[in-house]
Structure 1
């Protein structure tokens, strides 16, 4: 048995934020019915295509373990099918532009009439307010949520991060909201709306920067490198390069081979508790007791010198040798792992965090598996569905259409031309 066995998800999502959410629910056992435009499907099926004639990795890596039904919700028969899907499902998830469901004739009030127990979960760019009708994409969310203004170096422009904290991050927040609403429904018997704005999700992940914004009222942020360098602080939390956000000085430092390998670097934290082992490792034992070096406050104006000395040492070691030497001494370090190294990592493959998936059109590809491990709900990652692959199956097995009624739906044009052949 899997954790969400018996839960049906009506998946009206596309691109990344919504599919991230519904894929996670599918991994935990929910039956996710992905509704797609006949003949077209999710736009990402044909975006960034690397294998001609096959669904893109953009689509396949966000839609594992789902079933696909083609459905034209503007068609009268399509509206009938959608109504029956709403009756049968526990959750409807959508990331349409604001107002799209209303224009289809399925407002929240109408959806509640059809199924008072259903949960309607939505990703939007912004919450209620002056920006609620604006379109938002990944990088826009990072900028509007506070990530970009606090990312980068002090003397450079704001930067977005390579992690998809706007799209995938919001999808994870939405999944938590859905699970919470399902739990509450067990007590109340009622469904409810769940909203996860992308701006809010990014802001939640930037909470330490809002912490620092308020700390500015009490004086400069001493753990930021600019304090030790005598650079004044402004009115807002500044960009801090690769400083550690937890109050312990940290930097990214070059390792052996950095001249040719763009990822031959390590992250090194000069944690106060292990200052003496650090001094021994880098050949500076005198710093353990020297005036100006012995305590963390004394070292704040010497961080460039200290990290310079540490980097002279790390440049003589590979990033993995740095790990091997420092970890037994409890010195916090971490290699800068490339995407190639991650995709080949034996440990990540052993735990199912990186998996190989077979696909009938594109062959075998590597993907990220479920990042959350439940001891009693193992995850088997299955391939993403072909467009409309399960249309007839869903009509028959989920909605109970059969015989002439099933044929009438297929002939109506509500579920795509390909289904005529599939049903014969």
Structure 2
């Protein structure tokens, strides 16, 4: 049995943050009905197109397991259909600009009148306050949420990360909020609003940096490299390069082949509990008892020297050889894996984290599968829908319209050509 089987999601989301959320719910078995503008659809269908005439990977990789209906919500008949959908569905998910639903005539109050059990879940850039009406994209969220100011090297500019913590990260937060609201509804019988602000989501993922901000009030951050280098701290959590962010010093180090391979690197953590094993592996057994090296506090001002010596050793090994040698010794290391290596990883394919999907217009492509595994609710990743592919199916099977009514709906222009 699918975990969310029987739950109907009215998906008014577009681009990435909302579709990430609704795709996850679809993977868990919810019936996700994606509402799209007739003849246009989600903007990402035609963004970053790599195969002419086919939906982009941007769209297909964010909209698996959904059904698509074309619907003009400004059309009178379209409004009637939308009202029927609200009556029928359990959750409405949207990431419009603030106030867009009100302008459509579907305020929260109106939605509650139509269906008191409806859960309205929204992604916004900012929560209530000075910036709530501002437009927000991925990198804006990373900057406003604290990620950029703490990413990069101390002597360089702030940097954004390649991980989509603003968009996809917020979608994951929203999915949790929706499932929680559904659980609450089982007890209360009532729907409620769920808000996931992108700034809030990024800040939640940056909580260790907020932790460090408060620690600064009581002294320097001793696990940061600049402490060992004798460089004073300012009044905010600094950028720390590739320091581990925890109590155990860590660095990204070159491996064999780094001169030609931009990803021939490993992350190496000098965990205190395995310090003696590290010393043996790199050929410095005397460091185990040598004054200034034997204990973690003594090593803080020598981290550059220590990691330079470890790198001399890692540069003689491939990143996989480093893993093979260190893992049996419980030395924490991790290879820097490229996107190409991840796509080709047999282990990730076996678990369904990387999947191949067949599509009628673009052929076979590779995508990320469901990152969360449930033992009794396996996930089958199905292709994204073509624009309006399920319009007639939804009108008939979900909303109960008959053939004559459907013909009139199509003639009204409420659902586009509905030729799928």
Give TM-score scaled by structure 1 length: 0.99
1:123-272 paired onto structure 2 within 5 Å: 123-272=123-272
Please give the alpha-carbon distance, in whole angstroms, between the structure 1 residues aligned to 2:404 and 2:354: 45
Query: What is the CA-CA distance between 1:239 and the residue it aligns to?
Result: 0.2
Please give the alpha-carbon distance, in whole angstroms, between the structure 1 residues aligned to 2:264 and 2:24: 33
Matched, 1:26 2:26: yes
Q: Output the aligned Cα RMSD.
A: 0.5
Matched, 1:106 2:91: no
Query: What is the CA-CA distance between 1:407 and the residue it aligns to?
Result: 1.0
Residue 390 of structure 1 aligns with which residue?
390
Query: What is the CA-CA distance between 1:246 and the residue it aligns to?
Result: 1.3
Residue 61 of structure 2 aligns with which residue?
61
Residue 84 of structure 2 aligns with which residue?
84
Please give the alpha-carbon distance, in whole angstroms, between the structure 1 residues aligned to 2:134 and 2:218: 36
How many residue pairs match? The answer is: 420
Please give the alpha-carbon distance, in whole angstroms, between the structure 1 residues aligned to 2:262 and 2:122: 39
Query: What is the CA-CA distance between 1:410 and the residue it aligns to?
Result: 1.1
Please give the alpha-carbon distance, in whole angstroms, between the structure 2 residues aligned to 1:10 and 1:109: 17
Please give the alpha-carbon distance, in whole angstroms, between the structure 1 residues aligned to 2:408 and 2:29: 32
SS in 1 for 2:55: coil
Query: What is the CA-CA distance between 1:404 and the residue it aligns to?
Result: 1.4
Please give the alpha-carbon distance, in whole angstroms, between the structure 1 residues aligned to 2:257 and 2:405: 68
SS in 2 for 1:22: helix
Residue 366 of structure 1 aligns with which residue?
366
Residue 411 of structure 1 aligns with which residue?
411
1:34-53 paired onto structure 2 within 5 Å: 34-53=34-53
1:52-102: CA deviation from partner (whole Å, max 9, x where unpaired) = 000000000000000000000000000000000000000000000111000
1:340-371: CA deviation from partner (whole Å, max 9, x where unpaired) = 00000000000000000000000000000000
Matched, 1:321 2:321: yes
Please give the alpha-carbon distance, in whole angstroms, between the structure 2 residues aligned to 1:247 and 1:53: 52
SS in 2 for 1:102: helix
Please give the alpha-carbon distance, in whole angstroms, between the structure 1 residues aligned to 2:29 and 2:412: 32
Please give the alpha-carbon distance, in whole angstroms, between the structure 2 residues aligned to 1:108 and 1:357: 38
Query: What is the CA-CA distance between 1:306 and the residue it aligns to?
Result: 0.2
SS in 1 for 2:220: coil
SS in 1 for 2:358: strand
1:294-373 paired onto structure 2 within 5 Å: 294-373=294-373
User: Which sections of structure 1, spanning at least 5 residues, go unmatched?
Assistant: none
Please give the alpha-carbon distance, in whole angstroms, between the structure 1 residues aligned to 2:348 and 2:126: 35
SS in 1 for 2:161: coil
SS in 2 for 1:252: strand
Residue 12 of structure 1 aligns with which residue?
12
Residue 117 of structure 1 aligns with which residue?
117
SS in 2 for 1:275: helix
Please give the alpha-carbon distance, in whole angstroms, between the structure 2 residues aligned to 1:406 and 1:287: 80
Please give the alpha-carbon distance, in whole angstroms, between the structure 1 residues aligned to 2:292 and 2:245: 23
**Structure 1 residue runs of 4+, over 4 Å off?**
none
Residue 292 of structure 2 aligns with which residue?
292
Please give the alpha-carbon distance, in whole angstroms, between the structure 1 residues aligned to 2:102 and 2:407: 29
Query: What is the CA-CA distance between 1:403 and the residue it aligns to?
Result: 2.2
